[in-house]
Structure 1
Amino acid sequence: MKKNIIKKSNLEISNVGYGASGFGNLYRTVKTSDAIDVIKKCHEVGINYFDTAPHYGAGLSERRLGLALSELDVERSDIIISTKVGRLLEPNKNIGKGTIDGFVNAGPFDRTYDYSYTGIMRSFEDSLQRLGTSYVDILFIHDIGSMTHGEKNKELFKVAMESGYKALDELKSAGLVKAIGLGTNEWQVQQETFKYADFDCFMLSGRYTLLEQTAESFLDQCVEKNVSIIAAAIYNSGILATGPKEGAYYDYEPAPEYILKKVEQIFDLCHKFNVAPTTAAIQFPFVHPAVVSVMQNTMKFKNIEKINAMLDYKIPSEFWSELTKSGLVTSKYLNE
């Protein structure tokens, strides 16, 4: 599998990374043994980059990822790990089994937002222990933005830039972190940080995909500033994998009619040119030079085993041309 460089840090990450949100029992329970087997399979196909967060299962994902990576017969330096800060986990003995924020039977912890220097330092230290590592390769500020915080975001963003950023910068200077950035669903908040901070990379979820290209001008700015993009949620909550079927989701909510119609048209073109929709979806983000990796979070072996074939499949140029001419995809990079 090809590796790309996060320019400011010289980190080499596989052009497909594995997102371990499922290890936190997202929407369904999984076994720790299954998580270990998935990581082994990812390593077999060449994936060296793994992402997690304290939010995923209230620490469960980090614990399982750390355990799974410890089972690999590799040096720590051969693996790239990213996790996130912005939420602290506070013990709560009253939390029992059930689903919280989509995570089933997660850890018995309340999640508290804290983007301050002290909060980020504590979150980072807690993550090191759960992951069983002495350093993290990439550290993202998680879910800062109005989609998560609404009217409170202005003040929280100020705290993150004036206080929290100092923590990230210190951790990077100390060699405990090699690259820093934001992990959000909103490109606008990532763009806003250009005024206050010097980040290496951003994880951007769902905003530069076969279905949505609203972030393209922002990604152009990232190229100018040598900021690398890791594209997550490239199937837009799964609809680009399942198609416009009943019950399909888009952006974590039931897909509206106009999205269902657009996906149907994209799938029709895929069928016309004999291109699997998931193959088109995994290849599309790489048309932009800012993108260095795309994330996958499947728990199925067969899907992991297909990743290299999906990346290598030669999609006819006519397919991309027709997507552009029909207005289904808007990207200047498909016209070059």
Structure 2
Amino acid sequence: MAAPSQVLASRSTHGVRLPRFGLGGSHLGQPAGADGDAGAIATVDAAYQAGIRFFETSPAYGDTERRLGTALSRRPRAELLIATRLPATAELGTAAELERLIRESNERLGLMADLVLLESTAETAPQSELVVGLERVRRLGAVKRVGVVSGDWRALEQVVRDAELDCVLLTGGYSLLDQSAGSLLERCRELQVPVIVSGVLTPQILQVEKSSEPDGVRARRIAAVCERYGVSLPQAALAFPGRHPAVASVLIAASTPAEIRADAALVRQPVPQKLWQDPELTRLLTHPAH
């Protein structure tokens, strides 16, 4: 069994153990049925064997919780960090509803989650209710850590100001092609709130030759710079977020064992510091229109 590499090892930040990379569960819920079960469990097994010990799930991902729990039930629990996302709806106004949602998620997992992340979007609970919900989750004592997840960095920035958080999960806005969430990361750095980032392997990164849109064109130019240093575009995309001191972990979504093995191999390959210092790459990252 493969031991976690130094690249995948945990970074202890703000009292929470956050491995540098984790498996996001969004692709593990489909398809339904026995074949889907077998594929998802094999993918989780491959992630574990590759050294990954951080796993994220959500009731919104279909049957992911049960599948993840089945795969991880054979593993030493103390090694694992399991995060579950819960919808931030108006029902979070009651402690009983929060406790029910957490209990049901744990029952589907067959394990107790270590980290509960409440979703923050404009369509769900107001920020004030979300902050109250976070405080209630913490008081329940049902989980060790609480945080917030959103694709809207502005919503996260507001919650970071108003609530005591163990971490935030940003599902877009900080990657090779998009650093719009930079001010959120700076605020989190100041407040010592660790950031988990997902959504870095976008279609423009994975299918760089197929896109004719501006981001696709820029991705090809970035890829050309990376190639001069012997680095692939996906390798650079996986390495980039962790260069920011606020980013403690990067989640990688995968739907097959081969996919997560390939991604884990990429994160183990060192990226030369000279690549990040390359003037052309700096211009492409900081001035997208040029």
TM-score band, normalised by shorter chain: 0.7 to 0.9
143, 156, 160: which one pairs with 1:194?
160
In structure 1, the residue matched to 2:13 is 7
In structure 2, the residue matched to 1:145 is 121
Q: Does 1:52 align with 2:57?
A: yes
CA distance in 2, matches of 1:28, 1:264: 39
In structure 2, the residue matched to 1:121 is 99
Q: Secondary structure at the match of 2:187?
A: helix
CA distance in 1, matches of 2:225, 2:32: 31
In structure 2, the residue matched to 1:288 is 244
- Tell me if the contact between 1:6 and 1:228 (Cα under 8 Å) persists in the aligned partners: no
In structure 1, the residue matched to 2:170 is 204
CA distance in 1, matches of 2:85, 2:254: 20
- Tell me if the contact between 1:15 and 1:292 (Cα under 8 Å) persists in the aligned partners: yes
TM-score w.r.t. the length of structure 2 is 0.87
Q: For residue 324 of structure 1, report the CA deviation from its aligned partner.
A: 5.6
CA distance in 2, matches of 1:239, 1:26: 25
In structure 2, the residue matched to 1:157 is 127
Q: Secondary structure at the match of 1:64?
A: helix
Q: Secondary structure at the match of 2:85?
A: strand
Q: What one-letter code is carried by the residue in structure 1 that aligns with 2:139?
A: E
- Tell me if the contact between 2:11 and 2:20 (Cα under 8 Å) persists in the aligned partners: no
CA distance in 2, matches of 1:26, 1:199: 34
CA distance in 1, matches of 2:91, 2:35: 29
Q: For residue 220 of structure 1, report the CA deviation from its aligned partner.
A: 1.9
In structure 2, the residue matched to 1:23 is 28
138, 156, 172: which one pairs with 1:169?
138
CA distance in 2, matches of 1:145, 1:324: 36
Q: For residue 306 of structure 1, report the CA deviation from its aligned partner.
A: 3.1
TM-score w.r.t. the length of structure 1 is 0.76
In structure 2, the residue matched to 1:90 is none
Q: Does 1:132 align with 2:110?
A: yes
- Tell me if the contact between 2:29 and 2:40 (Cα under 8 Å) persists in the aligned partners: no
The percentage of aligned residue pairs carrying the same residue is 26
In structure 2, the residue matched to 1:41 is 46
257, 267, 275: which one pairs with 1:301?
257
In structure 2, the residue matched to 1:185 is 151
Change in Cα spacing, 1:157 to 1:314, as seen in structure 2 (3 Å) is: same
Alignment deviations for residues 202-260 of structure 1 (CA, whole Å, 9 cap, x no partner): 11112111111122232122122121111111123x321221515xxxxxxxxx82222
In structure 2, the residue matched to 1:242 is 207
CA distance in 1, matches of 2:36, 2:219: 33
Q: Within 5 Å, which residues of 2 pair with 1:87-98?
A: none
In structure 2, the residue matched to 1:64 is 67
Change in Cα spacing, 1:202 to 1:30, as seen in structure 2 (3 Å) is: farther
Q: Does 1:322 align with 2:278?
A: yes
Change in Cα spacing, 1:272 to 1:114, as seen in structure 2 (3 Å) is: farther
Alignment deviations for residues 18-72 of structure 1 (CA, whole Å, 9 cap, x no partner): 0111121179996101111111111111111100001111xx11111111111x2
Q: Secondary structure at the match of 2:144?
A: strand
In structure 1, the residue matched to 2:79 is 78
CA distance in 1, matches of 2:282, 2:241: 19
Q: For residue 9 of structure 1, report the CA deviation from its aligned partner.
A: 2.9
CA distance in 2, matches of 1:220, 1:75: 35
Alignment deviations for residues 79-105 of structure 1 (CA, whole Å, 9 cap, x no partner): 110001126xxxxxxxxxxxxxxxxxx
What is the number of equivalent residue pairs in this alignment? 280
- Tell me if the contact between 1:207 and 1:214 (Cα under 8 Å) persists in the aligned partners: yes
Structure (1/2) with the larger strand percentage: 1
Q: What are structure 2's unaligned runs of at least 5 residues? A: none
- After the TM superposition, which parts of structure 1 deviate over 6 Å for at least 4 consecutive aligned residues? 26-29
Q: What one-letter code is carried by the residue in structure 1 that aligns with 2:199?
A: A
Q: For residue 113 of structure 1, report the CA deviation from its aligned partner.
A: 6.5
Change in Cα spacing, 1:29 to 1:266, as seen in structure 2 (3 Å) is: farther
CA distance in 2, matches of 1:201, 1:194: 9
Q: Secondary structure at the match of 1:203?
A: strand
CA distance in 2, matches of 1:313, 1:64: 30
Q: Secondary structure at the match of 1:177?
A: coil
- Tell me if the contact between 1:86 and 1:120 (Cα under 8 Å) persists in the aligned partners: no
